[in-house]
Amino acid sequence: MLETVEDIQERRDQVLGRYQRFKEEAKEKRSLLEDSKRFQYFKRDADELESWILEKLQTASDESYKDPTNLQTKIQKHQAFEAEVITHRLDELHRLWELLLSKLTEKGLKLQQALVLQQFNRQCDEVMFWINDKEAFVTSDEMGQDLEHVEVLQRKFDEFQKEMAIQEFRVQEVTKQADKLVGENHPDHQIIIRRRTIDRLQFDVPVNCKFCKLIRHRI
């Protein structure tokens, strides 16, 4: 039975951690399947090309030139054969060129996505660093022994809230960036959603608890 906030948070972290591992395993599985599919396409194309080359090698290797009959017809057939081979090579070069352009575009997109994710993670880390730095103050049960002490703590908390207003803007920016990346179906959008949620929870809950404790104590 989950009785305390710590128990609930621990259980939540366990669930989120397991879910994240599950998502990573699913992502790896998808990547392996895509690699396998690409390999099968490559194998099929390679087999077809090998068969075509063997067929044409047989034609190119015959010694029909030793028979002097119908040489003009044989020359015309050979010229047509040469044209077919050249056309096939041009088609293959064109296919490979298009594949190269496609891969270049795909890699450029993935590099941009990786850069955006890196920037997002850096913003999250900066917010989390500030939260961890202030956590001792926010989660402290010290509420003052008398009115004077409480007022000192209240002034500290007021100063803290000024800092928090600045960080609130950064959290909002992180949230906006996360929403944008998720909306664009970023390949790591599940990680982004998880980080956005955790940052928001860790920013809101301790601060609200501290504020409520101070108010109750003053009353």
Cα–Cα distance for residue pair 33/43, rounded to 1 Å: 15
Q: Check residues 214 and 66 and name the one with the higher pLDDT.
A: 66
Is the pLDDT score of 215 beyond 50?
no
Question: Nearest-CA neighbor of 27 among 180, 182, 193, 189?
Answer: 189
Q: Name the E strands within the chain.
A: none
Question: Nearest-CA neighbor of 119 among 56, 47, 197, 173?
Answer: 173
Is the pLDDT score of 45 beyond 60?
yes
Please give the CATH number for the structural domain made up of 63-218: 1.20.58.60
Is the pLDDT score of 12 beyond 70?
no
The mean pLDDT of the chain is 73
pLDDT attached to residue 201 = 52
- Domain-by-domain residue ranges, the chain? 63-218
For the segment 82-88, the average pLDDT, to the nearest whole number, is 76
Question: Residues of the chain with pLDDT > 90: what percent?
Answer: 0
pLDDT attached to residue 217 = 46
